Chains A and B, each alone.
Chain A
Amino acid sequence: MSDINVQRRQFLKTSMGLAAVAIAPGMLLFEAAHGKSDAVSSKVRWGMLIDIANCTDGCNDCVAACNKENGLSGGTSPTDSQWMRKVELKNMSSGRTLSLPMMCQHCEHPPCVDVCPTGASFKRADGIVLVDRHRCIGCRYCMMACPYKARSFVHEPLHDQNPDVPRGKGTVESCTMCVPRIDRGQQPACVEACPNKAILFGNLNDPDSEIAKKIRTVASVQVRADLGLNTAVRYQGL
């Protein structure tokens, strides 16, 4: 009886070992082949913290960098695309003035995605709200739904776009947080361009990231927090 048990144990040991040897290289190869081509994951949520105290009145460097990166004309007429604007605020009773950049706030619950009839407006797994222009029919419901007036419609035919940033007539567009740059591991153009480093970019979901630490320690607000959209762009000193 004991003989049989010993044999059984031996058999189990060797077969487990063989199985591990057979599976391990396959797993390693799979990792190597798919390591970089993995889809973006919801473990990351990209966000920005904008320190208004460091944002200089009259400075337009972030907007200029955005326009250059994304091939925007820089015009400010109602038919020009504006992905980012500098907003000047003044409290009429105290006279305190503020200057801050305003763009798509990359909401956790984006109203533009709710209203889109074709599924063109969508939120990527890592929290970036985008327009899939292959599906956009140019109805502009999302522009009406957005409380931040962040989206623009392309009215005229375009030529010689940046190959990383395709844009075209008849579709809606807005700040993409420079998604091709993020996918390459770089920072958005506005963050790099700010001379005072007023914009901090990072992963809100990682408790050890610089942005998460700062949000834990300083007072920051979301614009129109009453709407409960949980924006990824936060302002410090508003």
Chain B
Amino acid sequence: MSRLFALLAVLFCLSAAAGATENLLAPKLDIGKGGQCVEDPQWMRKNHMHVLIRQRDETVRKGIRDGKYSLKNCIECHASLRDNSVIGRADSFCQGCHRYEAVRIDCFECHSGKRKSVLVQGK
């Protein structure tokens, strides 16, 4: 019985240690203004790509531009307050996490990664 307890204790320690390492390795993101998102953050982490693909087709093909989800609005809130961008640095909101997950994003080969209000002022 005591052997079983010891085993459980060791397992518990290991899992706790694993949890701690995970937190250490997780990307540190510059979330910009942040604040209230269109959905719960955990849901967004899992589903933002599906939402964006659906929104992109509806906007380009059908001209529906007033939906709840919009890449432009993502950038408006989440661009860094330092360089007004979601890409370009290791802790940038989009790039930081995608680098950690090793998923290439090609959104920003056509779309601007900068906050619209800044681009408009800069012109």
Interface residues in chain A, defined as those with a beta carbon under 8 Å from any beta carbon in chain B: 36-40, 122, 124-126, 130, 132-134, 157-164, 166-169, 171, 179-180, 183-184
Contacts and interface: CB of A to CB of B under 8 A. Distances in A.
Nearest to A120: B60
Contact of B110 (A39, A122, A133): A133
B109 A183 contact: no
20 contacts: A39-B58, A39-B64, A122-B61, A124-B63, A125-B62, A126-B63, A134-B60, A158-B110, A159-B112, A161-B112, A162-B119, A163-B72, A163-B111, A163-B112, A163-B114, A166-B110, A166-B112, A169-B109, A171-B110, A183-B63
Interface in B33-55: none
A16 to B, nearest CB: 36
Nearest to B76: A163
Interface in B75-122: 75, 109-112, 114, 116, 119
Contacts of B19: none
A15 B20 CA distance: 65
Given A40-B62, A124-B63, 16 more contacts: A36-B66, A39-B58, A124-B62, A126-B63, A132-B60, A134-B56, A134-B57, A134-B60, A161-B111, A161-B112, A163-B116, A167-B110, A168-B110, A169-B109, A180-B65, A184-B65
Interface in B10-38: none
Please classify the interface of chain B as helix (H, G, I), strand (E, B), loop, or mixed, using the class held by over half of its residues: helix
A30 B60 CA distance: 23
Please classify the interface of chain A as helix (H, G, I), strand (E, B), loop, or mixed, using the class held by over half of its residues: loop
Of all A-B residue pairs in the complex, the 4 with the closest CB atoms, nearest first, are A168-B110, A39-B62, A40-B63, A166-B110
A38 B64 contact: yes
A211 B65 CA distance: 26
Contacts of A126: 63
B75 to A, nearest CB: 7
Nearest to B64: A37
Nearest to B85: A160
Contact of A163 (B56, B64, B119): B119
Contacts of A37: 64, 66-67
A160 B64 CA distance: 24
A39 B63 contact: yes
Contact of A130 (B56, B60, B72, B119): B60
A8 B117 CA distance: 66
A184 B59 CA distance: 13
A171 B66 CA distance: 26
A122 B57 CA distance: 12
Contacts of B116: 163
A163 B116 CA distance: 6
B98 to A, nearest CB: 18
Contacts of A166: 110-112
